[in-house]
Amino acid sequence: MPPPDGCNHNPHEDDVNSPTSPFNFLDQNYQELHQNCLAENTLFYDELFPPDDSSIGTLEDNPYLDPSLIVWKRPFELVSDPNLIVDGVSRYDYAQGNVGNCWFLASIGALTFEKDIMKQVMPPEQSFTQDYAGIFHFRFWRFGKWIDVVIDDQLPTYFDELLFVSSKTSNEFWPALLEKAYAKVCGSYADLNGGLMSEALMDFTGGTHMYYSPDYNPPPADLWKIMECAFTSKALICCATNAATTAEEKEKLHGISEEHAYTVTGIFEVTSDENPVHLVRVLNPWGKVEWQGDWSDESPLWDTVCEEVRTICHEVLNNGEFWMSVEDFTSIFYCIDICCSCPDFLDGSSECHWTSKRHFGRWNAETTAETFPQFRVTIDELNEECAIGQRPENTLVSLMQNHEKRNRMSQKYYNICFFVFEIPLEMRGQSGRFSAGFVNETEPVAQTDALAGFREVMKFFRLEPGEYLIVPCTENPGDTASFVLSIFSKNETHFEYIQETSE
């Protein structure tokens, strides 16, 4: 598996930073600010995310919360011995607070499994003891760019309890500080209310995102095997439920919450009465409330497996984590997100390594159906190692939009999609854009399954060696937003933006 900063990446000229050389968010330089505080013997005060109502935002889901009773305190004002981390980072360290950001916390649960990625997001050598100055920093990948986010350690409290994410160990503060840094990026704590797991997963890794859902990308028959390979290969996996609309749908939930995000924390095969059973372990970010069906903590089915397996897998604890069969898992969880540095895991033990290309583009008010951006992709022959991979798909295309507004909840994503057309032999090598006639009259060889108002849409498919045209679109020509178009491939790939031709 390649290192956490991604596939063998050939960057576009604008994509020159990395987790180790990020851009300073809001032009705040952590090293300079930290050293200034130490030199002046002061604690950092973040004027760009101040301890007041503007950083909280409007918490519409909590009408009984009295904003006048919110008090911002530093950790040493809450406990006598604050620590960033106590006994390592764990998925059991935290529980959700007074904002609907289960999508973000479920993603943190997945993040805790991957220590290298965790260090990438939360740089080491920060503490409440050595060189403490009330300042911390975190790193996220936002719309194709790594950013370093500086915060002070003042946290909102309500009757001396943390208002938002809380630690189960009272003197451990990494979850609250990580949440604050992400809230700063998104505009406020209230801007974390509601979202898709894929947003945080991608912002943690800057990698490849795959999702499966009935409406947009139905899960394949071998989903459990894909998840097993992904989990073994250090991918982050989350899942979410939809609203239950019928009595039958509500009945089969058996303790699973509607419209809620969860973390996938384990994949395991057991033998039950001589029959193989594929299990998935799932964590509720609330830190409680669990599945009550087959293979749950108190299910009698655990008596049908050997004692060794029960020792490894079976715990009866009300910690929000539970096992279930993959059949129950896929029937209840509507969306499954897998995010990894690179999709190499899809080829099992193959020596093939995927590569990635990325381009930053823009739709503007003058964009019409005839002038959507166009990209030429040349797919080379597979080498022998890649040709023996386990899956036929060899290409993943991702289209991510960015309205460039500070407050996350103030921007509504456009319905977006992309089309992939094969370029005929007689048209290969031509310069300039392809005509509207070609685009309108040619059947695409691949496309997103539907126009979707998501931050990102993706499609996983096979392209034979040859030349192709990718056209990223908005539903309404003239919608204005920047976008990032990424292509991941296990073939050698040449990727270029087709410039407008002058008259």
Contact 6, 341 (CB under 8 A): yes
Given a cut of 60, whether residue 2 has pLDDT beyond it is: no
Bridge partners (DSSP) of residue 340 are 208
Mark whether 213 and 196 lie in a shared domain: no
The reply to whether 347 falls in a domain is no
Mark whether 264 and 322 lie in a shared domain: yes
The reply to whether 345 falls in a domain is no
Bridge partners (DSSP) of residue 150 are 137
Please identify, among 184, 203, 222, the residue that sits at the C-terminal boundary of a domain: 203
Given a cut of 60, whether residue 12 has pLDDT beyond it is: no
**What confidence tier does 96 reach under pLDDT thresholds 50, 70, 90?**
confident
The reply to whether 3 falls in a domain is no
Mark whether 404 and 464 lie in a shared domain: yes
Residue ranges with strand state E in 214-320: 236-241, 261-272, 275-283
Mark whether 367 and 256 lie in a shared domain: no
Higher per-residue pLDDT: 384 or 245: 245
Question: What is the mean predicted confidence (pLDDT) over 473-494?
Answer: 91
Comparing CA positions, the residue from 324, 316, 281, 279 lying closest to residue 298 is 316
Greatest CA separation for the chain: 77
- The pLDDT tens digits for 113-122 are 888 999 999 9
What does the pLDDT read at residue 493? 85
Comparing CA positions, the residue from 408, 400, 259, 253 lying closest to residue 329 is 253
The reply to whether 344 falls in a domain is no
The reply to whether 503 falls in a domain is no
Question: What is the mean predicted confidence (pLDDT) over 434-451?
Answer: 91
Please state whether beta strands 145-152 and 23-24 pair in parallel, antiparallel, or not at all (unpaired): parallel
Average pLDDT, the chain: 88
Higher per-residue pLDDT: 207 or 266: 266
Active-site hit among 7, 102, 352, 417: 102
The reply to whether 131 falls in a domain is yes
Mark whether 199 and 225 lie in a shared domain: no
The residue type of 327 is E
- The pLDDT tens digits for 315-358 are 888 889 999 999 999 999 999 999 987 787 776 655 677 888 89
Given a cut of 90, whether residue 239 has pLDDT beyond it is: yes
- Full-model pTM: 0.89
Mark whether 142 and 185 lie in a shared domain: yes
The reply to whether 273 falls in a domain is yes
Mark whether 315 and 393 lie in a shared domain: no
Given a cut of 70, whether residue 107 has pLDDT beyond it is: yes
**What confidence tier does 467 reach under pLDDT thresholds 50, 70, 90?**
very high
Q: What DSSP letter does each residue of 341-377 carry, written as one string?
A: S-GGGGGTT-----EEEEEEEEE-TT--TTS---EEE
260 tagged catalytic: yes
Given a cut of 70, whether residue 35 has pLDDT beyond it is: yes
Q: Among 31-35, 106-110, 248-252, name the most confident range.
A: 31-35
Mark whether 227 and 267 lie in a shared domain: yes
Mark whether 149 and 277 lie in a shared domain: no
What does the pLDDT read at residue 367? 92
**Boundaries of domain holding 46:** 8-203
What does the pLDDT read at residue 260? 93
- The pLDDT tens digits for 364-390 are 999 999 999 999 999 888 766 666 656
| Number of domains making up the chain | 3
**The Cα angle at residue 173 between residues 167 and 176, in degrees rounded to 5:** 75
Please identify, among 281, 306, 338, the residue that sits at the C-terminal boundary of a domain: 338
CATH of the domain at 378: 2.60.120.380
Mark whether 312 and 447 lie in a shared domain: no
Contact 37, 135 (CB under 8 A): yes
What does the pLDDT read at residue 157? 94
The residue type of 457 is V
Active-site hit among 9, 34, 209, 260: 260
Mark whether 54 and 164 lie in a shared domain: yes
284 tagged catalytic: yes
Active-site hit among 101, 217, 284, 402: 284
What does the pLDDT read at residue 70? 93
What does the pLDDT read at residue 61? 66
Please identify, among 162, 184, 203, the residue that sits at the C-terminal boundary of a domain: 203
CATH of the domain at 246: 3.90.70.10
Bridge partners (DSSP) of residue 356 are 9, 488
- The helix/strand/coil state of 265 is strand
Number of Cβ within 10 Å of residue 312's Cβ equals 13
- The pLDDT tens digits for 259-295 are 999 999 999 999 999 999 999 999 998 888 999 999 9
The reply to whether 343 falls in a domain is no
- Estimate the share of the chain in helix, then strand, then coil, as percent rounded to the nearest 5: 25, 30, 45
What's the length of the chain?
A: 503
Mark whether 311 and 383 lie in a shared domain: no
